[in-house]
Amino acid sequence: MLFALWKGIVLGLSIAAPVGPIGILCIRRTIALSRVHGFLSGLGAATADALYGFAAGFGLTLVMNMLLEQKLWLQAAGGIFLCYLGVRTILSNPASGPAKASGDTLFGSYFSTFLLTIANPMTVLSFLGIFAGIGIGSAGESVNSAVALVAGVFLGSALWWFALCFTVGLFRERLNIPTMKWINRISGTIVVLFGIVSLIGLLR
């Protein structure tokens, strides 16, 4: 069981670490808002990872198949949402002080990345492939091991987001308003590009 926990932590870290639209959003929110906003954004993704891990770990093929059947709709919704967030980021103005950082709520930071991760079909496919490869979700798999592995996935993913937001937060106080404006524009453009790529993928 302990081995399954550590295996889950490694999996969570490996799934969360690649820099994608979620990583860009977490970095931007950490700089523009606070470490708490950035970390909660990452925690939303970690929660979605854990849910997919739960589905794969306990062999909930019905849930996975349903999500895969709706792959095109999920990808379209995710792509549009990314474009919206990207444009909103580009147009947003950095605040002059922490208390006026933004009208964004902590729940909004968490829930938006949760939805984006859930709506990403590649997350489903990643977990299906990884869990099948290491034998999780089979009939003979221990329930305790599956629980430990899913908990590890969440902890590993959350650990990555905490480390990323803490590191980025160290530089937050050194940034001035013009620099933060450019960070908003660059990060927003990258997020929009991710959204466009996702939508173009629907045409293939």
Please indicate, yes or no, if residue 63 is contained in any of the structural domains.
yes
Tokens 């709706």 locate to 70
Q: Which domain holds residue 20?
A: 2-69+93-180
pTM above 0.75, yes or no: no
Please indicate, yes or no, if residue 132 is contained in any of the structural domains.
yes
Please indicate, yes or no, if residue 15 is contained in any of the structural domains.
yes
Counting the structural domains of the chain, the total is: 1
Rounded average pLDDT per 10-residue block, the chain, 204 residues: 80 74 85 89 90 70 64 76 79 52 72 85 63 52 73 89 88 69 77 81 74
Please indicate, yes or no, if residue 98 is contained in any of the structural domains.
yes
Please indicate, yes or no, if residue 202 is contained in any of the structural domains.
no
Please indicate, yes or no, if residue 188 is contained in any of the structural domains.
no
Please indicate, yes or no, if residue 76 is contained in any of the structural domains.
no
Collect all residues with Cβ–Cβ distance below 8 Å to 25 and sequence separation of at least 6. 41, 85, 89, 112, 113, 116, 187, 191
